[in-house]
Each structure stands twice: as structure tokens, then as C-alpha cells.
Amino acid sequence: MDNQIKTIAFDADDTLWVNEPYFQEAERQFCLLLEDYLPQHSVSQELFKTEMDNLQLYGYGVKGFMLCMIETISRISNNLAPLELVNRTIKIGQELLERPIELLDGVAETLGRLKGRYRLVVATKGDLLDQERKLQKSGLEHYFHHIEIMSEKKVRDYQKLLKHLDCRPENFLMLGNSLKSDVLPVLEMGGFAGHIPYHTTWLHEQHDQSQHILQYKNFIELKKIDEIEEVLLQA
């Protein structure tokens, strides 16, 4: 494999740095705000429903999350919630945007050893401004040849990325924590994909690994990011 791979792409959130735990903490704060209207677990369910209903409109990221929280307030309160609840919800979202970047273990060291041997790329979903901000604050930007902020991660989106990079699928490796977004689409188009599990994953990104994914010869299961170096050398 090592002599085949020319380009390695990395998901960002929960692959390079911590993300989902911050969203979950923000959601807990939001659910507490609305416990006079519904139990906290019911508020969480209503918020997820709002997010799914609006995904095609807002895409992924904190700003869409904030709009969905506000819409959820309106719906479950029958438009009777005080404006103060909306203001406090906006504050929750702003604090989420201002969170410091916490790199995951081994990320900077691994990128440092791979740079020069491979063309390194970021391929991540989310809000453009927010993801650019996080990448800049991470101190990792200089490792990457190209940054792609994607609205979605389906086969056609990866094909578009590879066309831009002038890279064939068999020369491409994607690494990320989501089987649904980072692994399956890349395997389906003939590329290599490595799954680096994270201890918590957004419900929308969860995927049953027991399906046909293990049948793909180009699938790589990792426990942490630095294991990819040994895999590349041994293959």
C-alpha cells in the first residue's frame, strides 16, 4: 500500500482535535434551560429532530446548531418562551465558537513524520469560517497542502475533491472517526480509508460497523492516529 498512497486526507473534528464533547456540553446546557417545558431527554430529542429537518438548509456547524436551538425553543414553548431564553441560547453558541482547540494525542507528531512523504490534506465538514478559525488556532495549518471544507461527504463529494487534487482513488487514503462520512464513501469509490474511533460520536454520524464495511480490502481499522505510520510501512 505504501507505494500506492500519494495523498492522505484527514477529517478535522474528533480526528485532529476535540469537538463532539463540546457540542454535547452545549446541548446539556440548552436542555437545562428548557426543563420547565420538557424533561431534558425530551428536549434533546426535539433538538435532534430540528437539526435533521434543517440539515439540508443549514449544513453542519455551530451556527446551524444555534439556529436549531432557537427554533426548538419556539416549537416546544408554543412561541411563549421569554426572549431571555433565546439570548442565553445564543450565548451558549458563542461560547462554543470560542472554545480553545485541544489537539488529540499524537496528531502533530504524526503529521510531522508524514509531511514530505505524502501530500497531506484536510477534508472536513462544517461551517467555513469556524473550521478555518479552528485550523488556524490549532497550529497545524502548515502541514497541509490543501484544505477542503465540505458541505457533505458522499461519494460525489470525494470524487470532486480527487479531481481537484488530480489524484486517483487508488492513490488516496482518508482518515477519520466517522464510518458514515470518512470511510464508507471513500471505500465505495475505490480509495483507502482508515477508521480512528473517537469515544463519542454525534448520533447522525453513527453507523453499524457490522455491515459490509469489513468486506472492503482497502479498509483499515486503527485505535489511534499514529498507528497509520506502521500500517503504511508494513503494507
Q: Are residues 109 and 218 in the same domain?
A: yes
Confidence of residue 234 (pLDDT cuts 50, 70, 90): confident
Closest by Cα among 208, 201, 121 to 161: 121
Beta partners for residue 217, in sequence order: none
C-alpha distances in angstroms, 156 versus 89, 108, 129, 186, 188? 36, 30, 23, 10, 10
On whether residue 2 sits in a domain, the answer given is no
SS (H, E, C) 57-110: HHCCCHHHHHHHHHHHHHHHCCCCCCHHHHHHHHHHHHHHHCCCCCECCCHHHH
Which helix (H) or strand (E) segment holds residue 225: the answer is none
Q: Are residues 116 and 76 in the same domain?
A: no
For residue 127, pLDDT over 90 is answered with no
pLDDT of residue 61: 85
pLDDT of residue 205: 46
On whether residue 91 sits in a domain, the answer given is yes
What is the DSSP code (8-state) at residue 43? H
In DSSP notation, 96-140 reads HHTPPP-BPTTHHHHHHHHBTTBEEEEEEES-HHHHHHHHHHHT-
Place of cell 468486506: 215
Last residue of a domain, one of 68, 97, 126: 97
C-alpha cell at 234: 508494513
Closest by Cα among 182, 175, 201 to 21: 201
Q: Angle at which helices 107-114 and 227-234 pack, to 10 degrees?
A: 30
The C-alpha atoms of residue 191 and residue 187 are separated, in whole angstroms, by 5
For residue 162, pLDDT over 60 is answered with yes
For residue 207, the enclosing domain spans: 7-17+102-234
User: pLDDT for 151-160, tens place per residue?
Assistant: 889 999 999 9
Last residue of a domain, one of 77, 97, 117: 97
On whether residue 1 sits in a domain, the answer given is no
Confidence of residue 207 (pLDDT cuts 50, 70, 90): low
Q: Are residues 226 and 139 in the same domain?
A: yes
User: pLDDT for 41-94, tens place per residue?
Assistant: 999 999 999 999 998 888 888 999 999 999 999 999 999 999 999 999 999 999
Domain with residue 89: its CATH number is: 1.10.150.240
For residue 2, pLDDT over 80 is answered with no
Q: Are residues 140 and 87 in the same domain?
A: no
Which helix (H) or strand (E) segment holds residue 12: the answer is none
C-alpha cell at 130: 469556524
Confidence of residue 215 (pLDDT cuts 50, 70, 90): confident
User: Residue 165, Cα to own-chain centre: how many angstroms?
Assistant: 21
* Domains of the chain: total: 2
pLDDT of residue 204: 42
The pTM score is 0.87
Confidence of residue 169 (pLDDT cuts 50, 70, 90): very high
The C-alpha atoms of residue 3 and residue 235 are separated, in whole angstroms, by 9
pLDDT of residue 202: 43
Beta partners for residue 124, in sequence order: 149
Confidence of residue 124 (pLDDT cuts 50, 70, 90): very high
